[in-house]
Amino acid sequence: MKPTKLPVILSEVETAQSAAAAKSKAPYTHSRPMWSGHSCPLPLILVLLLILTFSPKAFSQDKPIALKGGKLLTVSHGVIENGIVVMQGGKITAVGAASSVNIPADAKVIDATGMTIYPGLIDSETQLGLTEISAVAMTNDLIEMSDEIMPHMHTADAFHAESALIPVARLNGITNAVVAPDSGDTLPGQDSFIQLAGATAPDMLLIRDNAMPLNFTGDQRRNKGGFEKQKFPATRMGLAAQLRQSFLDAQDYKTKWADYERKKSDAAQNQNKDKNNDKDKKSDPLPPKRDLKLEALIPYLEGKKTIVLAAETPSDLETAVGLANEFKLKFVLNHISQAQPVLDYVASLKVPVIVGPIYEAPKDDERYDAVYSLPAQLYKRGVKIVFASYSAHNVRNLPDQAGFATAFGLPYDEALKAITLNAAEVWGVADQLGSLDVGKTANVVIANGDPLDVKTDVKQVYIQGQAIPMTSRQTQLRDEYSK
């Protein structure tokens, strides 16, 4: 492999970073409770945070960058050998064969000869920013288990921008992700769509409440501990009845508010007509009491937002789809890892599927590769698939799953799309992300080989056109103990 100029770029970034840290006008103007109890001096904290959490704001792309000579996996329009990608103002401004692209005179040119260049990868379900150390309860904000119907929980409210897990994930080329609550409730709360770099949580949260999981896998039952301890809903019947009642309540709530708004509007009109008549003022309607839970369900009942419908077995799948159709919910499917007998039915629904993880164990009587081959089986039936790591610490291994699916029949291009363009389409951001196309956000990865191979090393990640420092808590430990 030919050495590239990347190390030089890295040191420049590091220098810029130190300079920004020295100014102490870091993007972190807000202090975080996590740190406030510590006696660690603030400037040191800021330096640490800067090392661990890169901030595009502090280093907005000031001049164009041209990646020259690499093999471009555009995802949308094939592979370009010896290509050029130009990034400017955080966007991709040119993509093409070296012979056809003019590099701006002021561009910083990166020699990517021998490298593979592809769009930043998108993980369609993660817990990034909701957990730090799985077994340490105080670092987890994964789910509220006090009730099964929790649509008013917003992962955006818990998202921890400074999580040490985020640099670890993006070092492997993951630039965007869906953050979802854990799956122990039927309606555990709303997802966020994030970018894996940014000054603050709001900067990284590209879309708050972009979607909401509806989990129907049996795990949501409150049936643990025998008859003495179990409580409603202890069965799937209970789960379904509770969901149905919740959506009915939300419909009713919506009607009440609509009535109120109409009455208010009527009252206002009457007032305008008869300004001097004080007697009519008492007819001003009172608003219904606000209910955050029911309020949160309304955009989903109206089909304005996507429900992520999780089921595994055929029976759960059909019950869940039945519920979704009853309330005309717009949905994508999630998991369906045991639904092999009903894949034609799945295809007939004409919705995308977040499939897997394909590492789920097959049923006891099934062949060892029954789940490994599920993506290929869905693809054959015309289903749009995307992959997810369903993880926080192992988000970096998302591409391995896509690669593994190719060994069991999924065409390579589809596997790559399942963690780039298909995901962008499912999450409504295909105009900005998911491929190397002019006008899209410059989330671009340079690696020394096939992005779907476990051996491939990512050399540089760009987010919004800015070179991300290729460091994490883990590289720091490595370097410290390699001295």
Partner 1 sequence: MQSMSNSKAVLGRVVLSLSLGLTATMAMTTLTLTAPALGQSAHSDVVIKNATVMTATHGTIKNGSVYIKDGKISAVGETVNAPASATIIDAQGKYLTPGIIDSHSHIALDDDVNEATSPITPQMMMKDAFDYQDKNIYRALAGGVTTSLLLHGSANMIGGQAVVIKHKYGLSRDELLFPNAPRSIKFASGENPKRVYGARDQLPSTRMGNFAVQREALVQAQDYMREWDAYNDKLKRGDKDASPPKRDLKMEALADVLRGKILVQIHCYRADEMLTEMAMAKEFGYKLRAFHHALEAYKVADQLAANDVGIATFADWWGFKHEAWDAIPWNAVMAMRKGVHVAIKSDSEDYTRRLNQEAAKTIRYGGATEEEALKMITLNAAWIIGIDDRVGSIDVGKDADLVLWDGYPLSTTGVPEKVLIDGEVYFDRALPGLGMTHYKEGE
Return d(Cα 325, Cα 474) in angstroms, integer.
Answer: 46
369 contributes a contact to partner 1 by CB under 8 A? yes
Segment interacting with partner 1, rule: CB under 8 A, options 76-84, 108-116, 194-202, 403-411: 403-411
Where do we find the tokens 């649509």? Answer: 151
368 contributes a contact to partner 1 by CB under 8 A? yes
| DSSP-assigned letters across all residues of 47-107 | HHHHHHS--GGGG---S-EEEEEEEEE-SSS-EEEEEEEEEETTEEEEEEETTT-PPPTTP
365 contributes a contact to partner 1 by CB under 8 A? yes
The pair of structure tokens assigned to 55 is 């901030």
CB closer to partner 1, 136 vs 292 = 136
CB closer to partner 1, 232 vs 359 = 359
215 SS3 class: strand
Q: How far is the CB of 445 from partner 1 (least distance, A)?
A: 15
Q: Which of residues 400, 418, 430, 433 is near partner 1 by CB under 8 A? A: 400
Return d(Cα 65, Cα 467) in angstroms, integer.
Answer: 10
The pair of structure tokens assigned to 432 is 């900005």
237 contributes a contact to partner 1 by CB under 8 A? no
Residue 101, by phi and psi: left (phi above 0), alpha (psi -120 to 50) or beta? beta
478 contributes a contact to partner 1 by CB under 8 A? yes
**Beta strands 108-111 and 79-88: pairing type?**
unpaired
Return d(Cα 131, Cα 51) in angstroms, integer.
Answer: 20
Tell which positions 87-116 bind partner 1, by CB under 8 A: none
The pair of structure tokens assigned to 65 is 């960058």
Determine the distance from the C-alpha atom of residue 174 to the mean position of all C-alpha atoms in its chain, rounded to a whole number. 10
Q: How far is the CB of 405 from partner 1 (least distance, A)?
A: 9
Residues 238-277, mask of contacts with partner 1 (x by CB under 8 A): ----------------------------------------
CA distances from 11 to 2, 15, 30, 470 (A): 19, 6, 28, 10
Tell which positions 414-453 bind partner 1, by CB under 8 A: 452-453
CB closer to partner 1, 344 vs 364 = 364
Q: Which of residues 327, 331, 404, 462 is near partner 1 by CB under 8 A? A: 404
Segment interacting with partner 1, rule: CB under 8 A, options 19-27, 52-60, 110-118, 394-402: 394-402
Return d(Cα 184, Cα 143) in angstroms, integer.
Answer: 7
179 contributes a contact to partner 1 by CB under 8 A? no
457 contributes a contact to partner 1 by CB under 8 A? yes
482 contributes a contact to partner 1 by CB under 8 A? yes
2 contributes a contact to partner 1 by CB under 8 A? no
Q: Are 332 and 350 in contact (CB under 8 A)?
A: no
224 contributes a contact to partner 1 by CB under 8 A? no
Contact residues for 219 (Cβ-Cβ < 8 A; gap 6+): 183, 184
Return d(Cα 155, Cα 286) in angstroms, integer.
Answer: 32
The partner residues of 331 in beta bridges, in order of sequence, read 307
CB closer to partner 1, 130 vs 240 = 130
Q: How far is the CB of 108 from partner 1 (least distance, A)?
A: 27
Return d(Cα 242, Cα 222) in angstroms, integer.
Answer: 12
CB closer to partner 1, 431 vs 453 = 453
141 contributes a contact to partner 1 by CB under 8 A? no
Cα-Cα-Cα-Cα torsion 240, 244, 250, 254, nearest 10 degrees, comes to 160
417 SS3 class: helix
Segment interacting with partner 1, rule: CB under 8 A, options 180-188, 211-219, 264-272, 359-367: 359-367
Contact residues for 372 (Cβ-Cβ < 8 A; gap 6+): 358, 404, 405, 407, 408
Q: How far is the CB of 267 from partner 1 (least distance, A)?
A: 57
Task: Report how many residues bind partner 1 under the rule CB under 8 A.
Answer: 37
Q: Which of residues 69, 403, 465, 469 is near partner 1 by CB under 8 A? A: 403
Q: Which of residues 456, 464, 466, 471 is near partner 1 by CB under 8 A? A: 456
390 contributes a contact to partner 1 by CB under 8 A? no
Q: Are 422 and 388 in contact (CB under 8 A)?
A: no
Segment interacting with partner 1, rule: CB under 8 A, options 104-112, 182-190, 330-338, 361-369: 361-369
140 contributes a contact to partner 1 by CB under 8 A? no
State the chain's maximal CA–CA distance in angstroms: 86
Q: Which of residues 79, 361, 413, 431 is near partner 1 by CB under 8 A? A: 361
Residues that bind partner 1 (CB under 8 A): 132-136, 165, 359, 361-362, 364-365, 367-369, 392-394, 396-397, 400, 403-404, 406-408, 452-457, 474-475, 477-478, 481-482
